């Protein structure tokens, strides 16, 4: 467990926190006027290795080799020149700070951090963090890596569960959820949608699936995986045979098929490590998925109630009325797809660079 303190005066700025993996949807911008929830669970923190926020430099201002040294292997619109390594926490875990009113940024419903750090240490008044809670952004506080220090504290550290324990106790991420919006004259409203977490996870995984495809068609498992990935893969990759085959693999599942080309596997929510099969010589490409998303693929929820006669058994689903479903097909988050793809060295291959360029220059391309 750690408490983060001001680098200038040593004042405590957070409650005791334990480290977890950075969520895949951290950099997601979702919809328009949407109220996204808090990014991090209470009592946790994650380190973002990449710079975030201004100042920015356009791609043509980047020196040759600089982008690749930062792990970016294809052109992007702009690169952040902010200090990397920010500590991301839930807003409710902050202590001993105050907002800086003049650092409101370009936000419309809250704070977006566009003007840099907007929170100061109450003790010494040094800028220490950036709060983000504007519409369409996940709510979080980012402690500057150069403005705070972590200090170990006594406390009960949640142990890192084994893969078997995670498979048994982990919570699946629902495919659908109610989305709150700002701006209505009648107050906050809601609509039923595909989960933003799922869309971001799918964008991240789709980038890896494209690399794993080697430019060939890919067949994913039947069921939820088909709804989430197959249409986009069929649109982005050439048609025909043979197809590279993707299968689900992970804890408590049978050993992966040795003939499978691609394995859809979970990410450990605390360590951020990807599950790997015991046979370390396996040549299959591992596509990482957040644990909750992977659990839903492995054990999808029932879509239809089971008819029953007589007295309703306790464990039966009722047959009135059916859950609401979105009115549009699932789409992976395009920005997350592009963000992930440019950070994979394989994007330098001509066929994959062509896919990326089509996505970048045509907002309606594929993913439909």
Tens of pLDDT, residue by residue over 37-50, are 999 999 999 999 99
Lookup: tokens for 123 = 């003790």
pLDDT value of residue 280? 56
pLDDT value of residue 304? 45
Residue 127 — φ and ψ, nearest 5°? -65, 130
More confident residue, 186 or 237: 237
pLDDT value of residue 323? 58
Using the predicted structure, report yes or no on whether residue 276 has a pLDDT greater than 60.
yes
pLDDT value of residue 301? 73
pLDDT value of residue 364? 54
**pLDDT confidence bin for 191, thresholds 50/70/90:** confident
Using the predicted structure, report yes or no on whether residue 190 has a pLDDT greater than 90.
no
pTM exceeds 0.85:
yes
pLDDT value of residue 237? 94
Using the predicted structure, report yes or no on whether residue 279 has a pLDDT greater than 80.
no
The tens digit of pLDDT for each residue in 52-108 reads 888 889 999 998 889 999 999 999 999 999 899 999 999 999 999 999 988 877 777
């Amino acid at each position: 467990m750690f408490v983060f303190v001001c680098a200038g005066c040593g004042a405590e700025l957070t409650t005791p926190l334990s480290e977890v993996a950075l969520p895949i949807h951290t950099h997601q911008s979702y919809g328009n006027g949407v109220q996204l929830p808090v990014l991090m669970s209470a009592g946790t923190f994650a380190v973002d290795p990449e710079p975030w926020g201004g100042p920015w430099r356009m791609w043509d201002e980047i020196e040759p080799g600089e982008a690749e040294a930062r792990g970016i292997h294809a052109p992007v619109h702009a690169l952040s020149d902010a200090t990397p390594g920010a500590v991301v926490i839930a807003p409710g875990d902050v202590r001993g700070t105050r907002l800086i009113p003049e650092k409101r940024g370009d936000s419309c419903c809250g704070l977006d951090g566009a003007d840099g750090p907007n929170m100061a240490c109450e003790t010494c008044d040094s800028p220490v963090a950036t709060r983000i809670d504007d519409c369409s952004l996940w709510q979080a506080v980012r402690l500057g890596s150069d403005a705070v220090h972590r200090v170990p504290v006594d406390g009960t550290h949640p142990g890192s569960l084994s893969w078997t324990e995670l498979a048994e106790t982990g919570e699946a991420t629902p495919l659908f959820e109610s989305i709150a919006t700002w701006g209505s004259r009648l107050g906050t409203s809601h609509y039923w949608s595909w989960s933003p977490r799922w869309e971001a996870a799918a964008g991240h995984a789709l980038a890896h699936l494209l690399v794993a495809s080697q430019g060939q068609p890919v067949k994913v498992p039947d069921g939820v995986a088909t709804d989430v990935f197959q249409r986009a893969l069929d649109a982005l990759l050439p048609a025909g045979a043979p197809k590279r085959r993707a299968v689900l693999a992970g804890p408590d599942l049978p050993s992966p098929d040795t003939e499978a080309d691609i394995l859809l596997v979970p990410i450990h929510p605390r360590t951020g490590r990807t599950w790997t099969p015991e046979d370390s010589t396996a040549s299959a490409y591992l596509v990482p998925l957040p644990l909750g998303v992977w659990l839903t693929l492995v054990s999808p929820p029932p879509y239809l109630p089971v008819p029953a006669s007589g007295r309703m058994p306790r464990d039966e689903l009722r047959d009135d009325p059916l859950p609401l479903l979105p009115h549009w097909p699932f789409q992976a988050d395009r920005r997350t797809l592009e963000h992930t793809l440019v950070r994979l060295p394989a994007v330098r291959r001509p066929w994959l660079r062509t896919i990326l360029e089509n996505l970048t220059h045509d907002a309606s391309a594929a993913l439909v």
